[in-house]
Amino acid sequence: MELRNLALAALCLDEPAAKVAAVRDLWARAQAAAPLGLPVDEAVLGLDPHAELAERDGLPGRPQRPLLVPHVRMAQRSPNTLIGRAALLHAIAHIEFNAVNLALDAVWRFAGLPADYYLDWLRVAAEEAEHHTLLADHLRTLGHAYGDFEAHDGLWTMTYKTRHDFIARMALVPRTLEARGLDATPPIQAKLGRAGDHAAVAILDVILRDEIGHVAIGNRWYGWACARAGLDPLAHYPLLVRQYEAPRLRPPLNRAARLAAGFSEAELAYLEHPDLG
């Protein structure tokens, strides 16, 4: 099957373990067909970037649990307790599972883009799958499993809202919602460290490292799309925030991580003081 069709098939899978396995196989196939540093041959890769694929019912595939509830109904627990720590890590595992889905959606949904775009998002899907697996495995050492706690659907909600707008997708999912993880991760690591869960802190080190790269991919393709459309990325971003009602950031920003992910000082100034922009 064609690569984007395979990404869509993986997105439709319900069970996390099956989705992770499918993503691993797809990324291994892509790596073998397009070695790093060599020109990409779309035929060898099995990629048809111009194919217009039909959306399937029931996207994204997900298990019956966790039960999805509005964000405001999520129970607040202290990470100083075992169940509170498990609930916190479960929430992050759910974000990572949704991140697999959004990366796969970015691969299949948008046609007519460079081959590097599809490879970038396949890599994101593969790394998010590993993040979810690390967290799900660690949850089991705490006596819990993915699905044991309620979760919310904010990341996929924005993915769905931007399904017909490629520029908005790149602006508001990787470089807005996912970028919030760059800011939130160090404080979460501090809480987990104080609770004595050093294994979880190490897992979040891996996730933070990789997420800088994922946000950089969002920045890369947002800038590329704006240039193609003749738009100023800095000026266009607030318009998209208002149009799609993107959530406001919670300061402080992780400036070092955001700069490493390709944000400019002008962009950070806007994010820190959006009312002055």
Which DSSP helix (H) or strand (E) runs through 87?
Answer: helix 82-109
- Averaged in consecutive runs of 10 residues, what is the pLDDT profile of the chain (277 residues)? 95 97 96 83 92 92 91 78 95 96 98 96 98 98 96 89 97 95 96 96 98 98 98 96 91 95 95 75
pLDDT of residue 243: 97
Structure tokens that stand for 137 in this block: 């495995």
User: Domains, the chain, ranges and CATH?
Assistant: 79-276 (1.20.1260)
Any idea of the CA torsion for 239, 243, 248, 254, to the nearest 10 degrees? -50
Structure tokens at 277: 């922009």
Contacts of 97 (CB under 8 A, 6+ apart): 16, 19, 62, 128, 132, 146
The predicted pLDDT at position 276 comes to 57
pLDDT for 233 equals: 97
- pLDDT at residue 69 in the model: 87
Which run of H or E residues covers position 167?
helix 166-172
Neighbours of 206 (CB within 10 A): 13
pTM as predicted: 0.95
